[in-house]
Amino acid sequence: MTPLPSASAAGSLFLPFSAGRLNLPNRIVMAPMTREFSPNGIPGADVAEYYTRRAAGGVGLIITEGTYIDHPSAGTSRRVPFFHGEEALAGWGGVVEAVHAAGGRIAPQLWHVGAARAVGAPPFPDAPPVGPSGLALDGTPFGEAMSSADVDDVVNAFADAAAAAERLGFDAIELHGAHGYLIDQFFWSGTNRRADAYGGDLVSRTRFAADIIAAVRTAVSPGFPIIFRLSQWKMGSYQAKMAESPQELESLLTPLVEAGADVLHASTRRYWLPEFEGSDLNLAGWAKKLTGLPAITVGSVGLDNEFINAFKGENSEITSIDRLLERLQRDEFDLVAVGRSLIADPGWAAKIRDGRADQVIGFDTEMLKSLR
């Protein structure tokens, strides 16, 4: 039987939230989850339906799956949606219209995979993998180191995508700076060994991200919210830490705040784990404490194991969210991103709101094949 949170605790999830022009009816965010259901990078009516079902089910803010910016090395699949080009943007316009009609708010996640791209991968097989120093996540030589011109091109591509998002009526944008993809590769000393202004100590390694945020801030209207997603862990390097202490984390985050980030989305695999010794705060809690910005927490909400295990074929059991609600009530973070629970049950938010947690549908790995 699904554990039922107390009405007062559950109520904390359904308080309104505002950041800039973003006004949400509750604190529940749909986490970005790659689907590969957009042939040739074009999101169709089924994509609109997928997100609209979650909006109608009570989600406060939808953050879309990662979308490729307009750079030939940005992606690694023909089925991940683009965020550039007339056809793709028209498709996204239809998604926004449908989500808004259902009463929802939505932000695209803007993405460049960097050196996570395989040689010869689609959608542009001739484009080489690129990164800060021509290194793979394990530190071995791979792909090409980005020139100053390459850096400028990518910064401008993020800004152009953000401007397009606002033009299409999106409510915010999220920059994907986590999980070992391009922006994160600049943060991490294991992949960034540049000798120019974009490399060196931790603060210098934040410059690429800060330049992107500043360019986006200039490209969009004042008050249009910029969400920045970060993580310590990387795909295939789950124990990685860019910041070993709160002081180092503050050094990393401060330039992002000064550049114009409005909300920090701190990605962890298990939200309940403390980030640093001597404190119960998780990564989102530290991000909020150190910067004063609103923070989104994420990581196995409502489930008993992390998402990595889902890709190994392991199912998850529904678990209590009482610990999560206690942290939210004491303002450790402001918003809660939910992933697999919303894949399993588009009505998850409404069921929690209405005291019907015992009716929540559990997550099954077979659901990953359809993602409807």
Integer-rounded Cα Rg, in Å, for the chain is 19
Task: Give the pLDDT score at 362.
Answer: 77
**Contacts with 103 (C-beta within 8 Å, 6 or more apart), sequence order:** 25, 55, 56
pLDDT of residue 315: 53
Q: How confident is the model at residue 368 (pLDDT cuts 50, 70, 90)?
A: low
- Looking at per-residue confidence, does 341 or 198 come out higher? 198
For residue 308, pLDDT beyond 50: no
Find the helix or strand (DSSP H, E) in which 23 lies: strand 22-24
Residue in 68, 181, 198, 271 annotated catalytic: 181
Higher pLDDT: 304 or 346? It is 346
Residue-wise pLDDT tens digits, 41-68: 999 999 999 999 999 999 999 999 999 9
Q: How far apart are CA 85 and CA 20, in angstroms?
A: 28
Contacts of 166 (CB under 8 A, 6+ apart): 173, 220, 221, 224
Question: For every residue of 66-126, which 3-state class applies, written as one string?
Answer: EEECCCCCCCCCCCCCECCCHHHHHHHHHHHHHHHHCCCCEEEEEECCHHHCCCCCCCCCC
- For the stretch 118-131, pLDDT in tens is 999 999 999 999 99
- pTM (2 d.p.): 0.94
- State the pLDDT confidence band at 248, using cuts at 50, 70 and 90: very high
**Catalytic: 181?**
yes
Q: State pLDDT tens for residues 211-222.
A: 999 999 999 999
